Structure 1
């Protein structure tokens, strides 16, 4: 082991196994994670414990966990350069979450936007809806996920900013209460370029939970499906020359220009000039061509990896072993400082 001054920085990011990744997940998050594979010690967690805070089917959770790992590998997360682990396999996440929960004010959790939104949505659908306390404690478990690895860099989406602020608060509170232990993680929200919106309602982000599935492009969609979804994407009634341009009053076209820009590496300004005389049909055909070309190798890699259960099991085993080794070091330190008798 090299001395601290030459050790690699640790990158940690986690995601729930909630089905197929869509284009926004790929372009806005997973593809960006690959930049850390060289020069950093990387941990990518599949946080299945978080997935059970709402009603779920156990068989679906097991399948989705394996498929999520296969999708990450297909998107460029190389298991030889990163540790892909399953949260429920690692001793330490729930233990640290309990210790942190004893330091976390109840009111701070009740003010969390995600808790308020999800519980309100459940009650609006059913007045007698069961709201488990796990939904309230979700941010504390997320804080434990991060602090257990003492990560230097924690890439998160804008919607997780409030949870990261709680993580910082709990790290500081533990350090103040028991002595310096945790690194206080910095908020790190990567710039992702184009923000991928729904194809049918371009004022909303693309989402896997959208009831209208023609709104969402998945990384596993075949070319025929991609063409059908993009062909039916919302534009507007202005269909003459110059109709392909980005503006606030053309959110559908702006969204498609952003998607095409990311897929081709061209700027929106370049694309506006290129399609200045094009019809919406020709423009959409070009978007579909570019997206299909970009996602074809991802889909093919996914299909090969997800079919190889032995390989996936080996990937998980290697990632779990590395994650557990790091987690035990921090958990032992935390337990000692909290006053627990050594095992």
Structure 2
């Protein structure tokens, strides 16, 4: 059953929101005991198993374990998707599908704030202000733009990419990531290991702003957000275990999508690259394919990978692949069914997005008001 219906937001509601934001004080925004948790995901296709085990399932766990006063914000970051070429029609569809996926896996819009990043203009406003404080040297040291560009061009390595293909948005998108986090004065950011460098940049920019604009005994505006590591290890490609599982890989058999059927899951895991060494051991360097299957099995069963490996010391890859297939199907069958139920509920999804955008702006408006005052724009 659809939990609720939200009417279309009109101008009176927008004005009421603005008045409410103006009344919100800085103290109520970030108390010393309250956690503000923010994370986002790009709407570039249906998430795969690596996305789910590495990030999305952790979002649900954070939602479940959060204290009553904690604020959780989960965003579909459409502006980040634009850093690489997108088909407009497909992007619009992917945005809706991603919202449906997050609802299907268990993100509760009555507990967490679920919204489209591009519905809140405060992100881009803060991004510009932070860009004017960001040293070029810090951006040049960012490494992820190279990997994203290489993946988009199916390059064999980052050294094979042509720098002339780099656009300003892709080069500077870590600043937008920082704005995503700082707009809500987030204290904790659950992201993958590959994003740790960006969290360090976010902390640096928060510190630069605080030191530059904390005058007349004003307290620092931004907390320095903490990186929250996902409990499961990253999931690798089923066909090339030297790289992580990716939506951009040209080989569809290299990844398991959240929408894959049980027969598709079985076929992909059966065809996963392993090795010819007898027995099963966990050795990510020498046996990456086998170790990847053990990592997946441990993550799907919420177990320790070392303990899982002991159960297969005297068994073969066929047995392991069969058990991995069953475990993955058990994890994905619920979200898959729920996604198919709600993905075409356009009105419902639009209402969820509107509600989330208003809630998000309620928090970020107070931040932007303070930022504008401190830099001299208000």
Normalized against structure 1, the TM-score is what? 0.90
Contact 1:110 1:116 in 2 (8 A): no
Partner of 2:367: 330
Which structure 2 residue ranges, 5 or more long, are not aligned?
A: 1-23
For 1:1-343, list aligned pairs within 5 A: 8-37=34-63, 38-39=66-67, 40-118=70-148, 129-179=164-214, 180-239=219-278, 243-247=279-283, 248-341=285-378
Q: CA deviation at 1:118?
A: 4.7
Q: CA deviation at 1:310?
A: 1.5
1:116–1:193 distance in 2 versus 1, CA, 3 Å:
closer
Which structure 1 residue ranges, 5 or more long, are not aligned?
A: none
Contact 1:161 1:187 in 2 (8 A): no
The DSSP-based 3-state class of the residue aligned with 1:204 is coil
Q: CA deviation at 1:107?
A: 2.6
Map Cα deviations across residues 133-169 of structure 1 (whole Å, 9 max, x no partner).
Answer: 1112211111111111001111121111222122111
1:116–1:226 distance in 2 versus 1, CA, 3 Å:
closer
Which gives a bigger RCO, structure 1 or 2 (Cα 8 Å, sep 6+)?
Answer: 2
Contact 2:274 2:289 in 1 (8 A): yes
| Range with bigger deviation, 308-317 or 265-274 | 265-274
Contact 1:91 1:327 in 2 (8 A): no
Contact 2:186 2:225 in 1 (8 A): no
Normalized against structure 2, the TM-score is what? 0.82
Whole-Å separation in 2 of the counterparts to 1:170 and 1:266 = 38
1:326–1:279 distance in 2 versus 1, CA, 3 Å:
same
1:228–1:29 distance in 2 versus 1, CA, 3 Å:
same
Q: CA deviation at 1:119?
A: 5.6
Whole-Å separation in 2 of the counterparts to 1:230 and 1:310 = 37
Q: CA deviation at 1:67?
A: 0.7
Q: CA deviation at 1:267?
A: 3.7
Whole-Å separation in 1 of the counterparts to 2:78 and 2:245 = 22
Whole-Å separation in 2 of the counterparts to 1:174 and 1:30 = 31
Q: CA deviation at 1:265?
A: 3.4
Map Cα deviations across residues 63-84 of structure 1 (whole Å, 9 max, x no partner).
Answer: 1111111111112111111111
The DSSP-based 3-state class of the residue aligned with 1:188 is strand
1:260–1:53 distance in 2 versus 1, CA, 3 Å:
same
